[in-house]
Amino acid sequence: MRRKTFYWLSTVALFLSFAVFRVIRNVPQPPGPEMKMALEALSEAQKANAQLYARDAFNQAQMAYDSAMENWSKENSRFFLFRDYSQVNNWVSVVLEKADEAQKLSGKRTKSTSKRIQEGLIQLDKKIAIFELYYKRMPLPQSILKNHNKGVMKLSETRHAFGNKRFSEAEKYFEQAWELINSSNDKAEILVQNWFSSHVSWQKNAKQAIQLSANSKKVILVDKFAHKCFLYQNKKLVKTLDVEFGPNWMGDKIVKGDKATPEGTYKITAKKSGAQTKFYKALLIDYPNSEDKIRFEKAKSKKLIPAKADIGGLIEFHGMGGKGVDWTDGCVALMNTDMDALFRFAGVGTPVTIVGSVQPLESIIKDSVLQ
Amino acid sequence: MTLFTALSVAVLLSSCGKVPQAEIDAANAAIEAAQTAGADVYVAGDFAALQDSMNVVNQKVEEQNGKLFKNYKAVGATLAAVTQMAGEVQAKAEAKKEEIRNEIIALQAEVSALNNQNNELVAQAPKGKEGTAALEAIKSDIGVVEASMAEVNNQLTAGELMPALDKAKAAKEKAQALNTELSEVIARYSKNKRK
C-alpha cells in the first residue's frame, strides 16, 4: 500500500514538475535586450544632432521610447505568468524606425545646411568685396552703410558659429547676414544704376575725347567711377593716374557747395603753382561751361534749387590727393607726384572730359565678381 | 540557529529587493542641476553620455522589477556613479561657462581699448574737409561696433554666452580692421601733407 502511494505521489510530482517546467518555459521573456537596442538607436540619433535637425522624427522616437519604458513597467507590475511584452516590443520597433529616420535625416540636413552656408559665405564675400571696392566710396545714405557693416559683422558671427559646428546658430546668423548684405548692396546698386542711366552720353563724350587727341593733341579724360584720370595723345593712352573727388562725386555738379565734381567737356584755363595755389599745383578748368549754365537755369526755373543758388566755380585738378577718400569741394585731386606729371602734360587749352564711367556698369560688376 | 538564518536571509532579501528610490531621485536631481548649469549646451557630449547612463540605470531597475527575486545592489552602485558623474559634468559645464565668460570679458576689454584707440585716431585725423570726408564713414563703423558690444553686454548678463562670444569676436575683427583703416588714412594724409 505504501509503495503504491509512493508511486502515485511520484507520478503526480513528475507531472507537476513537467507542468511547472512548461509554464516557466512559456513565461514571457523581459524585453531587456530590445530596450537596450532602442536606447542605443536613440543615443546614435542624438549624436547626429537629430534633436536639432530632425526634431519631429527624433521626438517621435523619444516618445516611443518613453512609452516602451512605461509599458515595460506596467507589465512588470502584473503577475509574472500574465505579463505580455508584445506592446513594449511594438514601441521598440517604432523607436528603432524613427531613430534611424531621424539620424539619416539629420545627417542629410546637416550636410545640406553646411553646404548652403559654405556656398553662401563665398557669395556674400564677393558681395562685400564689390561693396568695399565700389559702393563704399559712394556718397550713400548712412542707413545703407550701417546695414552693410552690420551684415559684415553678422557674417563674421556666422563663421565663428560654423567653425564650432553650431550649424543651427550659424544658419540663423547667416540668414541675417544675407538679408543685411543683400539689401545694402541692392540699394546701392539701384542708386548706381540710376546714375548710370547717362552712360550712353558718357561713352559718346569719352570717344569724342579720344578722337580729339589725334594729330599729337593732348586730352585729359576723367572716369569718376573708376577714380582714374587718363592722359591721351595721338589716340593713345599715355598715362593713367589715380584721382579723388568731392564726397558727392556720384552725380553732376549743380550748385556751389554741393561737393560734386562736374561732368562734361571742359578745357584748362590756367596753370597754378607756388603761391598761386594751396594745393601744391593746380590746373583750373572752365566750369561752368555753357551747358552747365543752361542746366543750372533749368533747375532754377523748375525750382529744383533755391532761387538764390550759385552755380559755383573754381574747379581744378590739384595736388595733395592720395588720401584714399573723396574729400575735395568738387575738384579733382591727385598725389603730388602725379600732379607733377599732369602739370607737365597739360597746358592752357588742353581739353578735359569728365564722365561718370567709361565702362558700362554690367561689365564693372561682372569683372569684380570674376576677380 | 535555523530561525536566525531564516531571519538573516529575509533581511538580506528585503534590503536587496527594494527599489533604491532615494538614490534614483538623487541622481535625477543631480542631472537636472547639471542641465540647469548649462551642461546640455556647454558640454553637450558629456551631458548626453550622462543621460545615456541614467537611461541604462532605468532599464536595469525595470529588469529587476520584473524578477521574482529582485536585487538592486548593482543598480545602487551604478546610481552612485551616475550621481557622481552628474556632479562632474555640472562642474565641467560651470568651468566651461567661466572660461567662455572670461574670454568674453577679455574680448570686451580688447574691443573697448580698440574703440578708444580708434576714437583717439579719429581725433588725431586730419581736420577740415579732408578729414571730415575720410572719417565720416569710419565714425559710423565705430558706432556699429559700439552698438554690437552693448548687445554683447546684454547677452552676457542674460547668460547667452555662445552668441555673446560670437558677437564679441566679430566686433573685435571689425574694430581691428577699423584701426588699420584709420592708421592708413592718417599715414596717407601725413605722407601727402609732407610733400
Q: Which residue of A has its CA nearest to B55?
A: A39
Q: How far is CA A157 from the centre of its chain?
A: 13
**Nearest-CA distance B7 → chain A (Å):** 26
Which ranges of chain B have pLDDT less than 70? Answer: 1-16, 126-134, 136, 189-195
Contact B144 A73 (CB under 8 A): no
Residues of A in contact with B107 (CB under 8 A): none
Contact B129 A329 (CB under 8 A): yes
Q: In angstroms, what CA-CA distances link B20 with B49, B51, B120?
A: 22, 18, 67
Q: Are B185 and B135 in contact (CB under 8 A)?
A: yes
Taken in order B181, B184, B190, B195, is the CA torsion positive or negative?
Answer: negative
- pLDDT number for residue A257: 86
Confidence label for A346 from pLDDT (cuts 50, 70 and 90): very high
- Average confidence (pLDDT) over A295-300: 90
Name which of B152, B160, B188, B195 to mutate to probe chain A: the one with the most chain A Cβ atoms within 10 A of its Cβ.
B195
Q: What are phi and psi of A266, to 5 degrees?
A: -135, -175
User: Is the omega angle on the peptide bond into residue A288 within 30 degrees of 0, that is, cis?
Assistant: yes
- Average confidence (pLDDT) over A43-69: 95
Residue A41, C-alpha cell as written in the block: 538607436
Confidence label for A3 from pLDDT (cuts 50, 70 and 90): confident
Residue A162, C-alpha cell as written in the block: 560654423
Give the DSSP per-residue string, A54-115.
SHHHHHHHHHHHHHHHHHHHHHHTS-GGG---HHHHHHHHHHHHHHHHHHHHHHHHHHHHHH
- pLDDT number for residue A23: 66
- pLDDT number for residue B167: 96
Candidate from A32, A154, A321 with C-beta closest to B59: A32
B183 touches chain A (CB under 8 A): no
Contact A157 B63 (CB under 8 A): no
Residues of A in contact with B148 (CB under 8 A): 150, 153
Residue with cell 534749387: A305
Task: Tell me the domain boundaries of chain B.
Answer: 12-95, 97-194
Q: What are phi and psi of A244, to 5 degrees?
A: -125, 155
Candidate from A43, A47, A324 with C-beta closest to B185: A324
- pLDDT number for residue B4: 46
The pTM of the full predicted model, rounded to 2 decimals, is 0.75
Residue with cell 551747358: A291
Cα B63 to Cα A72: distance, rounded to the nearest angstrom: 9
Of residues A328, A336, A368, A141, the one with CA closest to residue A224: A328
Strand ranges of the sheet holding A218-223, from the earlier edge strand across to the other edge: A236-242, A228-233, A218-223, A351-355, A264-273, A281-285, A316-318, A332-333
Q: What share of chain A is helix, strand, coil (3-state, %, to 5)?
A: 60, 10, 30
- Average confidence (pLDDT) over A156-183: 94
Q: Which residue of A has its CA nearest to B61?
A: A73
- Listed range (A64-68, A131-135, A258-262, A327-331) with the worst mean pLDDT: A131-135
Taking only the tens place, the pLDDT of each residue in A15-48 is 888 877 776 666 788 899 999 999 999 999 999 9
Q: What are phi and psi of B13, to 5 degrees?
A: -65, -40
- Average confidence (pLDDT) over A280-295: 93
Confidence label for A183 from pLDDT (cuts 50, 70 and 90): very high
Q: Which residues have a Cβ under 8 Å from the Cβ of B132 and sit 6 or more positions away?
A: A327
H or E segment and range at residue A15: helix A2-25
Q: Are A149 and B174 in contact (CB under 8 A)?
A: yes
Cα B152 to Cα A231: distance, rounded to the nearest angstrom: 52
Contact B163 A169 (CB under 8 A): yes
- Average confidence (pLDDT) over A152-167: 94
Q: Which residue of B has its CA nearest to A37?
A: B56
- pLDDT number for residue A146: 87
Q: Are B29 and B82 in contact (CB under 8 A)?
A: no
Q: Which residue of A has its CA nearest to B181?
A: A324
Mean pLDDT, chain A, rounded, equals 91
**Nearest-CA distance B1 → chain A (Å):** 31
Q: What are phi and psi of A216, to 5 degrees?
A: 65, 10
Pairing of strands A218-223, A316-318: unpaired
Pairing of strands A236-242, A228-233: antiparallel
- pLDDT number for residue A191: 87
- pLDDT number for residue B3: 44
**Nearest-CA distance A270 → chain B (Å):** 22
Q: Are B83 and B144 in contact (CB under 8 A)?
A: no
Q: Is the pLDDT of residue A51 over 60?
A: yes
Q: Are A188 and A181 in contact (CB under 8 A)?
A: no
- pLDDT number for residue B130: 52
- pLDDT number for residue A145: 86
Candidate from A43, A72, A337 with C-beta closest to B62: A72
For residue A273, give the 3-state DSSP assignment.
strand
Residue B3, C-alpha cell as written in the block: 530561525
For residue A272, give the 3-state DSSP assignment.
strand
Of residues B152, B145, B135, the one with CA closest to residue B115: B145
Amino acid symbol at A177: A
Q: Are A243 and A352 in contact (CB under 8 A)?
A: no
Name which of A34, A156, A279 to mutate to probe chain B: the one with the most chain B Cβ atoms within 10 A of its Cβ.
A156
Contact A322 B192 (CB under 8 A): yes
Q: What is the ipTM of this complex?
A: 0.81
Cα A355 to Cα A230: distance, rounded to the nearest angstrom: 11
Q: Are A95 and A42 in contact (CB under 8 A)?
A: yes
- pLDDT number for residue A24: 67
Confidence label for A250 from pLDDT (cuts 50, 70 and 90): confident
Confidence label for A192 from pLDDT (cuts 50, 70 and 90): confident
Q: How many Cβ pairs within 8 Å bridge chains A and B?
A: 118
Q: In angstroms, what CA-CA distances link B101 with A162, B93, B94, B95?
A: 20, 12, 10, 10
- pLDDT number for residue A284: 96
- pLDDT number for residue A352: 96
- pLDDT number for residue B11: 45
Q: Is the pLDDT of residue A237 over 90?
A: yes
Percent of all residues in chain A with a pLDDT value above 90, rounded to a whole number = 65
B141 touches chain A (CB under 8 A): yes
- pLDDT number for residue A363: 83
DSSP A152: H
Name which of A160, A166, A334 to mutate to probe chain B: the one with the most chain B Cβ atoms within 10 A of its Cβ.
A160
- Average confidence (pLDDT) over A345-364: 92
